[in-house]
Amino acid sequence: MALLNTLIPSLARSPANSPTDSQRPADLGRTVKPAYEVKETPEAFGVTVYLPGVAKEGLELTAEEGQIRIVGRRAWKQPQGWTSVYRESSDAAFELVLSHDNAVEIDKIAAEVRDGVLRVSLPKHEAIKPRKITVS
Nearer to another protein, 78 or 134 (CB): 78
Task: Tell me if 49 sits within 8 A of 95, measured CB to CB.
Answer: no
- How far is it between the farthest Cα atoms of the chain? 77
Task: Tell me if 90 sits within 8 A of 32, measured CB to CB.
Answer: yes
Site string for another protein, 6-45 (x = CB under 8 A): x--xx-xxx-xx-xx--------------x-xxxx----x
Compute CA distances 76 → 27, 29, 90, whole Å.
18, 17, 11
Nearer to another protein, 77 or 135 (CB): 77
- The dihedral built from the CA positions of residue 71, 94, 16 and 19, taken in this order, carries a sign that is positive
Residue 41 Cβ vs another protein, minimum distance, rounded to whole Å = 10
- Interaction of residue 101 with another protein, rule CB under 8 A: yes
- Interaction of residue 100 with another protein, rule CB under 8 A: yes
Separation CA 70–CA 118 (nearest Å):
10
Residue 135 Cβ vs another protein, minimum distance, rounded to whole Å = 25
Q: Which residues of this chain interact with another protein, rule CB under 8 A?
A: 2, 5-6, 9-10, 12-14, 16-17, 19-20, 35, 37-40, 45, 47, 50-55, 67, 75-76, 78, 81-89, 97-101, 103, 114-117, 122, 128
